[in-house]
Structure 1
Amino acid sequence: MSNQNELKRNLGFFSAISIVMGTVIGAGVFFKVSSVVEVTGSTSMAMFVWLLGGLVTICAGLTAAELAAAIPETGGLITYIEYTYGSFWGYLSGWAQAFIYFPANIAALAIVFATQLINLFHLKAGWIVPIAILTALSIYFINCLGSKAGGMLQSITLVIKLIPIILIVVVGLFQDSNVDFSLLPLQAGEHQGFFTALGAGLLATMFAYDGWMHVGTIAGELKNPKRDLPGAITIGLGAVMVVYLLINAAFLMTLPISEISGNLNAASEASVRIFGDGGGKIVTIGIMVSVYGALNGYLMTGMRVPYAMAERNRLPFRNFFLKLTPGQAPWAAGLVQQIIAYIMMSLGAFDTITNMLVFVIWTFYSMSFLAVMILRKREPDMERPYKVPLYPVIPLIALVAGIFVLINTLFTQTLLAVIGIIITLLGIPIYFYKKKQEEREGIK
């Protein structure tokens, strides 16, 4: 491949941490509190599942970090799956991410941003989709300048988005409140069974923690991936868990659970209670900055997945997907994802599509956890600059948690899980078409 089609290694440690934290801390930190409280029914169980979700995610991050350091190539999850299980499974993971998972997240986050903007300025609801498209387009153009520009935006939005969170935490935790808040005894609400509440609550928090895996897609652009990537994943996720615990404690100490349960405006209402009437606007701006940063993280990492697939000659129109801007950003791959995201925005089915992909994406997450154990046995002499601590306990925790997510989703959202599988399998004909094309052309 010519030099003009090679990605530059110009991302540092703080940019990597910013991508981890900035991608994970998005809309979930403000919107998931309502669903978690609704399914758990108590402050103790709500806080416990946020803690448990964080610990499980850290175990997953520690496990995946071994793969990221040992195989520090652009592509992330697709690279780990292909290296361990072969080109077919690597292709399927890439297909699911490139053309469904990432566009769906881009669409959903852009719609959330547009909705908050409309609420802030009291605009007409009909402007939601046009504003969402312009929002996604603005980040696309920034990322076309190169990974350095995208990384800088991620760092800036991370710092800004933490300001309202810190204000809510500091003032909220030390205010005088008559709200009943207790961490013990650990129990579910009156009408919820203990394990049902635990399972549903954990599932909700793990959706909020999603996004940590995708920093691996920019490993090929990190200055020192073998050193920086594991640290960025683990330190970033640890910080995210602390942020989630503190802000949820602030919300739960400000509003009674009856006012939080199922209420998507709980964050704004809690801030009005804490800061007065101006508090709602402060949080709305904070949510918008937070969502914009998360959107940048998904777009920045997502556009590199089709590029990585094209490098492996796994997509039709390979040369198109390999096109880079002068700043060495894969603009063509990003453009295709933008178009898919715009279609999803227009259909309004972005939440449904994102939910159905949870089953599929967690299948590949779980395969990556198992891959660590497979490679330890298959290639004991493989260079591993970083090894997951307490092996095999931590990978097993991550794997069991992944299987739990799959089983829970399959039984509680059967139709969405099946549709997700079907859409993913639609990529199989393309895989075999490219394989036959390679055989005809004699490409190994």
Structure 2
Amino acid sequence: MEQKQSHLKKEIGLFAAIATVMGTVIGGGVFFKVATVVAATQSASLTLLVWVLGGLLTLAAGLTVTELAAAIPVTGGAVKYIEYTYGKLPAFLLGWAQMIVYFPANIAALSIIFGTQWVALLHWSNSAILPVAIVAGASITGLNFLGARVGARVQSVSLIFKLIPIALIVIVGLLAPAHVNFAWTALTSTHQTSFLSALSAGLVATMFAYDGWLGVGAIAGEMKNPKRDLPLAIGGGLIAITLIYVLINLVFVRTLPISALSGNLNAAADAALRIFGDLGGKLVTIGILISVYGAINGYTMTGMRVPFAMAEEDALPFSHLFKRLSPHTSVPYFAGAVQFGIALIMMLLGSFDLLTDMLVFVMWGFSVLLFIAVFILRKREPELMRPYRVPGYPIIPAIALIGGIFILVVTLMTQPLLAIIGIVLTALGVPVYLYHAKHQRA
């Protein structure tokens, strides 16, 4: 029975893979991060510039790592690429960081956002936010227990529906007369901060909105044709996401003044209210609900497969439990249940925002290792079968590498405590790894 269940079904096609990329990345960030970005830049044109730069950096990163994904198309994604290049301990630390904090923290944060918007839409008491958040997270975990095909279908449907309100805001907002005029060439902050400081702070702020693209590699083992479809899914999905982000932020800066956008988490609703009237606020809230629900699904679907892949290699304590698949749907149900359990604790503690910010820093640390891995493997294994090669090598990988190092340095300089805590949480995986290795030898 165990042998029969040890293989995941190949049920995910190209559209579902693109939907996973776009659905995971396009979540609350498209609506909420405008407040943080504008607060950093204090300039309409500089705001648009950092969204473009953030998209180009993410695209360079995605195109670079896709070479690894196509050459090593196995479930587990980045964990497997790190292991193939650097060995088992660094791979374990990435999987540990993703499993213990990164995926559960994103699920918790997005579930709380879902609960907040649901309560605002229906005018319920704020005391209902946490119960709604728990129901949202639990329902998505339950849907994913029905099989990869169901999770992928939820992703595809939520992507279509989430793009409708975004498209309406973009099209109507760009056709409507501008309420605010700004100079495209005025790339300076109105605050007494240098251009570089405003640019770097704004760029780092966009990274949460662009986060999530790396996780799609985790479903490679369940894709029908990963060597062909994975590069198309990551490249095409990230280009579309960048275009969407730039256009919707163009609408925001044309509709509301900088002072109304800066630090205002309801900026999207306020902009829609200005464009559509009273219906606008509800429209955007419904759009946020659908968008966030799809994003939770993307993190849930990809996240539960990381500990499964690690358990297949017997790399975790209790690996025999984590690699269990349900007999009818071939889904790693124990890994999914543990993931939701950690997310539930984070929802109850309310520290999900801090944890998410820390792990964005940690994930970019591992992303830098992945960029370097492309160079290492090109030299170490020139004969490795590469159905896809990153275009413009070595320029594109170099751009990704420089951008990743830039994000790490800026975070260390501006939020040193946050960065250090993130590093410490990841490093806690070392004694777990050593203890498990010793237990195996014994």
Say yes or no: TM over 0.5. yes
Aligned mates of 1:177, 1:355 — CA distance in 2: 34
Kindly indicate whether the alpha-carbon contact (under 8 Å) linking 1:47 and 1:183 is maintained by their aligned counterparts in 2. Answer: no
Aligned mates of 1:131, 1:229 — CA distance in 2: 34
CA root-mean-square deviation: 0.9
SS, match of residue 123 in structure 1: coil
Q: Residue type matched to 1:68 in 2?
A: A
Structure 2 counterpart of 1:341: 343
Aligned mates of 1:190, 1:139 — CA distance in 2: 43
Structure 2 counterpart of 1:122: 123
Aligned mates of 1:268, 1:191 — CA distance in 2: 29
Q: Residue type matched to 1:208 in 2?
A: A
Structure 1 counterpart of 2:40: 39
Mapping of 1:224-303 within 5 angstroms? Answer: 224-303=225-304
Match of 2:330 among 328, 331, 336: 328
SS, match of residue 186 in structure 2: coil
Q: Residue type matched to 1:422 in 2?
A: V
Kindly indicate whether the alpha-carbon contact (under 8 Å) linking 1:313 and 1:434 is maintained by their aligned counterparts in 2. Answer: no
Aligned mates of 1:430, 1:313 — CA distance in 2: 13
Cα deviation, residue 323, structure 1: 1.4
Structure 2 counterpart of 1:393: 395
Q: Residue type matched to 1:369 in 2?
A: F
Structure 2 counterpart of 1:173: 174
Structure 2 counterpart of 1:85: 86
Q: Residue type matched to 2:97 in 1?
A: A
Cα deviation, residue 438, structure 1: 2.8
Q: Residue type matched to 1:424 in 2?
A: T
Structure 2 counterpart of 1:366: 368
Q: Residue type matched to 1:104 in 2?
A: A
User: What is the TM-score when the length of structure 2 is the normalising length?
Assistant: 0.98
Match of 1:424 among 423, 426, 432: 426
Kindly indicate whether the alpha-carbon contact (under 8 Å) linking 2:62 and 2:235 is maintained by their aligned counterparts in 1. Answer: yes
Aligned mates of 2:177, 2:10 — CA distance in 1: 50
Residue segments in structure 2 that go unaligned for 5+ positions in a row? none
Aligned mates of 1:249, 1:192 — CA distance in 2: 23
Please list the CA deviations of residues 180-228 of structure 1 after superposition, one character each: whole Å capped at 9, or x if unmatched: 2332132222422100011001101122101011000000000000000
Aligned mates of 1:369, 1:128 — CA distance in 2: 40
Please list the CA deviations of residues 31-85 of structure 1 after superposition, one character each: whole Å capped at 9, or x if unmatched: 0111111110111100000000000110000000000000000001101101100
Aligned mates of 1:206, 1:358 — CA distance in 2: 8
Structure 2 counterpart of 1:311: 312
SS, match of residue 4 in structure 1: coil
Aligned mates of 1:151, 1:182 — CA distance in 2: 43
Kindly indicate whether the alpha-carbon contact (under 8 Å) linking 1:53 and 1:209 is maintained by their aligned counterparts in 2. Answer: yes
Kindly indicate whether the alpha-carbon contact (under 8 Å) linking 1:70 and 1:226 is maintained by their aligned counterparts in 2. Answer: yes
Cα deviation, residue 383, structure 1: 0.4
Aligned mates of 1:206, 1:355 — CA distance in 2: 10
Count of residue pairs the alignment pairs up: 440
Residue segments in structure 1 that go unaligned for 5+ positions in a row? none
Structure 1 counterpart of 2:405: 403
Kindly indicate whether the alpha-carbon contact (under 8 Å) linking 2:57 and 2:400 is maintained by their aligned counterparts in 1. Answer: yes
Cα deviation, residue 313, structure 1: 0.6
Aligned mates of 1:4, 1:348 — CA distance in 2: 37
Cα deviation, residue 423, structure 1: 1.2
Structure 2 counterpart of 1:61: 62
Please list the CA deviations of residues 316-346 of structure 1 after superposition, one character each: whole Å capped at 9, or x if unmatched: 1111111112211111001101111111000
Cα deviation, residue 86, structure 1: 0.1
Kindly indicate whether the alpha-carbon contact (under 8 Å) linking 2:46 and 2:186 is maintained by their aligned counterparts in 1. Answer: no
Q: Find out whether 1:213 has 2:218 as its counterpart.
A: no
Structure 2 counterpart of 1:194: 195
Please list the CA deviations of residues 247-280 of structure 1 after superposition, one character each: whole Å capped at 9, or x if unmatched: 0001111111111111000000000100001110
Aligned mates of 1:281, 1:185 — CA distance in 2: 34
Aligned mates of 2:353, 2:191 — CA distance in 1: 29
**More displaced, 162-171 or 310-319?**
310-319
Please list the CA deviations of residues 398-437 of structure 1 after superposition, one character each: whole Å capped at 9, or x if unmatched: 0111111111111111111111111111111221122123
Q: Find out whether 1:107 has 2:108 as its counterpart.
A: yes
Aligned mates of 1:223, 1:197 — CA distance in 2: 44
Kindly indicate whether the alpha-carbon contact (under 8 Å) linking 2:179 and 2:256 is maintained by their aligned counterparts in 1. Answer: no
Aligned mates of 2:382, 2:138 — CA distance in 1: 46
Q: Residue type matched to 1:22 in 2?
A: G
Q: Residue type matched to 1:309 in 2?
A: M
**More displaced, 187-196 or 73-82?**
187-196
Aligned mates of 2:355, 2:186 — CA distance in 1: 38
User: What is the TM-score when the length of structure 1 is the normalising length?
Assistant: 0.98
**More displaced, 40-49 or 428-437?**
428-437
Aligned mates of 1:310, 1:4 — CA distance in 2: 14
Q: Residue type matched to 2:331 in 1?
A: A
**More displaced, 415-424 or 264-273?**
415-424
Aligned mates of 1:312, 1:402 — CA distance in 2: 29
What is the percent sequence identity of the aligned residues? 58
Aligned mates of 1:311, 1:70 — CA distance in 2: 20
SS, match of residue 132 in structure 1: helix
Cα deviation, residue 126, structure 1: 1.3
Q: Residue type matched to 1:48 in 2?
A: L
Please list the CA deviations of residues 361-401 of structure 1 after superposition, one character each: whole Å capped at 9, or x if unmatched: 11101100110000000001100000001111100110111
